Amino acid sequence: MTHAPRTPFAPGRFLFGGDYNPEQWSRAVREEDIALMRRAKVNTATIGVFSWALLEPREGEYDAAWLDEVIDDLAAAGIGFLLATPTASPPPWFTIAHPDALPIRADGTPVLHGSRDTYAISAPAYRSAARRIARFLGERYGRHPALRGWHIHNEYGTVDYGPHAERAFRDWLRRRYGDLDALNAAWSTAFWSQRYGAWQEILPPRQTQYLHNPAQLVDFKRFNSDEMLAAYVEQRDAIRATGSSAPMTTNFMLPTWNHLEQWSWSAQQDVVSIDHYLDTAGPDGEAHVAYGSDLTRSWSGGPWLLMEQNATGMRIGDRLATKQPDRMIRNSLGYIARGSQSSLFFQWRASAGGSESWHGALVPHAGSDSRAFEGVVALGEMLERIAEVAEPPADGPIVEASIGIVWDAEGWWSLETPHLPNDAISYPDEVRAAHRACWRDGHAVDFVRPLADASRYRLLVVPTLYALSEETARWLETYVEAGGLLVVTFATGLADERQRIALGGYPGMLRELLGVRGEQILPEPDDVALPLTGGLQGGTWSELLHAESAQVLHRYTSGPLDGLPAITRARRGAGSAVYVSTKLAQASLDELLGDLAREAGVLPVLEGAAALGVEAVRRRGAHADYLFLLHHGDRPVHVDGAGIELLTGSSDALRLEPGGVAVFRQLGGSLPATLRLAH
Instruction: List interacting residues with ligand GAL (CB under 6 A).
Output: 154-155, 253, 275, 308, 346, 356, 359
Rounded distance between C-alpha atoms, residue 543 and residue 505, angstroms: 11
Q: At what angle do helices 586-599 and 427-440 cross, to 10 degrees?
A: 60
> 273 or 542, CB closer to ligand GAL?
273
> 7 or 355, CB closer to ligand GAL?
355
Q: Which long-range contacts (CB under 8 A, 24 or more apart) does 124-131 make?
A: 124/164, 125/97, 125/98, 125/100, 125/101, 126/90, 126/94, 126/98, 126/101, 127/231, 127/234, 129/59, 129/87, 129/90, 129/94, 129/98, 130/85, 130/87, 130/231, 130/234, 130/235, 131/234, 131/235, 131/238
Please name which of 361, 359, 319 lies closest in space to residue 344, comparing C-alpha atoms: 361
Please name which of 610, 575, 582, 579 lies closest in space to residue 594, comparing C-alpha atoms: 610
> 49 or 545, CB closer to ligand GAL?
49
- Supply the minimum distance, in Å, between the C-beta of residue 91 and ligand GAL: 16
Residue-wise burial string across 322-340, b where 16 or more C-beta atoms lie within 10 A, e elsewhere? ebebbbbbbbbbbbbbbbb
- Supply the minimum distance, in Å, between the C-beta of residue 114 and ligand GAL: 15
Please name which of 369, 324, 368, 319 lies closest in space to residue 348, comparing C-alpha atoms: 368
- Supply the minimum distance, in Å, between the C-beta of residue 359 and ligand GAL: 5
> 314 or 663, CB closer to ligand GAL?
314
> 181 or 356, CB closer to ligand GAL?
356
- Supply the minimum distance, in Å, between the C-beta of residue 119 and ligand GAL: 15
For Cα atoms 537, 541, 545, give the angle at the middle one, nearest 5 degrees: 90
Among residues 166, 227, 308, 477, the one annotated as catalytic is 308
In angstroms, how far apart are the furthest CA atoms of the chain? Answer: 78
| Cβ contact 219:173 at 8 Å | yes
- Supply the minimum distance, in Å, between the C-beta of residue 347 and ligand GAL: 7
> 352 or 603, CB closer to ligand GAL?
352
Please name which of 220, 209, 146 lies closest in space to residue 176, comparing C-alpha atoms: 220
DSSP bridge pairs for 537: 531
Rounded distance between C-alpha atoms, residue 586 and residue 491, angstroms: 17
Told to judge if 308 belongs to the known catalytic residues of this protein, a careful annotator would answer: yes
- Supply the minimum distance, in Å, between the C-beta of residue 19 and ligand GAL: 7
For ligand GAL, which residue has the nearest CB? 346
Among residues 56, 155, 227, 261, the one annotated as catalytic is 155
> 356 or 429, CB closer to ligand GAL?
356
Told to judge if 591 belongs to the known catalytic residues of this protein, a careful annotator would answer: no
For Cα atoms 669, 670, 672, give the angle at the middle one, nearest 5 degrees: 140
- The tally of CA atoms less than 13 A away on the side-chain side of residue 673 is 34
- Supply the minimum distance, in Å, between the C-beta of residue 17 and ligand GAL: 15
Catalytic residue annotation: 155, 308
